[in-house]
Structure 1
Amino acid sequence: MARIDVVPATTDRFDDIARVLNPTGREQACWCMHWRAPAQEDVTTRGARLRELTAQEPAPGMLAYLGTGEAPGEVAGWLGFSRRSAARSLQRSRVLPVGEPGTWDTTWVFMCVTVRTGFRRQGVAQALLDGGVGYAAAHGATALDAFPVEPPPGRRVPVSAAFVGTVGMYERAGFDRLGPTGATSARLTRWHLRREIAPA
């Protein structure tokens, strides 16, 4: 039976991060850095900047490994997140809610969920979300925000929009739907979902 292990994305696992986020070595890959970017960014430095973040606490995301028995698992997916205070591009958004600045340090944003081809439809994304919720709570988060899409009835989310996740996926992780936003992904509305976390 498959085993899914979810761990923080730390510097020693950066090669695995690259296997998920930039398997072809593109110079201008996103590296899950869009919302963390300064106003004037050099997109070719995103990978280096993400590596710097992996050396800090808290980590910039989680990795999932899929394995069997005692054998080490193979990297299967990534969940990117940050405190709103570190999501500089999101703070300037005109289409997504930015929240109150006084809450930015304790409100975390789940940015993207990416599962590698060959590992999908095995519960990896759900395990990443559950692990991310626990990690954020352990690091002082009191609220978690996400902006996924909802696929049309009977249809799947287009590949170009899959990284934002789906409403149902987040609802299964305990998030509540607050309302639609002005943002879209692959022409699908991005919804604002939130999960409140009681202080430890």
Structure 2
Amino acid sequence: MPSRVTADTQPPALRVVPAQQVPFADVEAVFGTKGDPATCWCQWFKVPRSAWSMSDAELEQLLEQQIAEGEHGPGLIAYDGDTPVGWCAVEPRPALPGLPRKRIVATGSPDQDFDDASIWAVTCFVVPRAHRRRGVGGVLAEAAVAYAREHGARVVEAYGVDPAARAKVPAADLFPGTVSMFERAGFREVARPTPARAVMQIRFDEG
């Protein structure tokens, strides 16, 4: 029986399980075959830009390998009953070599030691269209905090989008998660590198 990652406000109908403990077919079901998730497979912060000549199938194989080999992370899967309904990428920052190159992180994160495995990052949410507007992302954000803390995180960092700061935000641009969602999960804003993007943290080392 796989262990569950729980959050205090998690709706009873949803449960969250580490990706290492579920069939990879359930990960594939969440990412689907169309759109950005199926062409990225959560490799945006992991592989060099030169690697984007790889096929979608090759990127998918990388994620499958990372899940199989990962001690902690790279993500969580949310279920409604037996149906996989969402993915959240969460893991120590050293596993994300491309993260320091992103301007929002390089200019906004107060913690610039990217070799520190006690600092974790929440970087991506995938919720299939049929399961949106049900709070799946919020459940995953809370579960990601619990999972990181249980596995030794000192800090959990996220890079929220603030839809109120832009005239129109396509759904595809919300994959990092929203500021309001992270606030509800207990994060606080620590920097605003751009009007529409915030660096947000939970620091367990502050009690």
**Could you state the TM-score of these two structures normalised by the residue count of structure 2?**
0.80
Choose which of 41, 61, 65 in structure 2 pairs with 1:52. Answer: 65
Choose which of 99, 102, 116 in structure 2 pairs with 1:93. Answer: 102
The answer to whether the Cα contact below 8 Å between 2:104 and 2:199 also exists between their aligned partners in 1 is: no
Give a deviation string over 1:3-55, Cα, whole Å, max 9, x none: 10100012742111112223349997110111112364253222111111111
Distance in 1, matches of 2:104 and 2:14, equals: 35
Aligned residue for 2:26, secondary structure, equals: helix
Task: Tell me which residue corresponds to 2:13.
Answer: 3
The answer to whether the Cα contact below 8 Å between 2:36 and 2:172 also exists between their aligned partners in 1 is: no
Identical aligned residues as a percent: 30
Alignment of 1:29-68 (within 5 A): 29-38=39-48, 40-42=50-52, 43-44=54-55, 45-55=58-68, 56-67=70-81
Alignment of 1:112-131 (within 5 A): 112-131=124-143
Task: Tell me which residue corresponds to 2:163.
Answer: 151
Task: Tell me which residue corresponds to 1:181.
Answer: 193
How far did residue 127 of structure 1 move?
Answer: 1.0
Distance in 2, matches of 1:11 and 1:106, equals: 22
How far did residue 103 of structure 1 move?
Answer: 5.9
Task: Tell me which residue corresponds to 1:22.
Answer: 32
1:130 counterpart letter in structure 2: E
Choose which of 155, 166, 170 in structure 1 pairs with 2:182. Answer: 170
Choose which of 121, 130, 134 in structure 1 pairs with 2:146. Answer: 134
Aligned residues: 190
1:64 counterpart letter in structure 2: A
The answer to whether the Cα contact below 8 Å between 1:176 and 1:194 also exists between their aligned partners in 2 is: yes
How far did residue 65 of structure 1 move?
Answer: 0.4
Aligned residue for 1:80, secondary structure, equals: strand
Instruction: Looking at secondary structure, tell me which structure has more helix per residue.
Output: 2
Task: Tell me which residue corresponds to 2:201.
Answer: 194
How far did residue 91 of structure 1 move?
Answer: 2.2
Distance in 1, matches of 2:167 and 2:36, equals: 30
The answer to whether the Cα contact below 8 Å between 1:148 and 1:167 also exists between their aligned partners in 2 is: yes
Give a deviation string over 1:70-126, Cα, whole Å, max 9, x none: xxx211000012211111011233442363326631111101112111212222111
How far did residue 129 of structure 1 move?
Answer: 0.9
The answer to whether the Cα contact below 8 Å between 1:3 and 1:66 also exists between their aligned partners in 2 is: yes
How far did residue 194 of structure 1 move?
Answer: 0.7
**Could you state the TM-score of these two structures normalised by the residue count of structure 1?**
0.83
5+ long unaligned stretches in structure 2:
1-10
1:35 counterpart letter in structure 2: F
* CA pair 102-124 structure 1, distance change in 2 beyond 3 A: closer
Task: Tell me which residue corresponds to 1:82.
Answer: 91
Task: Tell me which residue corresponds to 1:70.
Answer: none
5+ long unaligned stretches in structure 1:
68-72, 183-187
* CA pair 52-25 structure 1, distance change in 2 beyond 3 A: farther
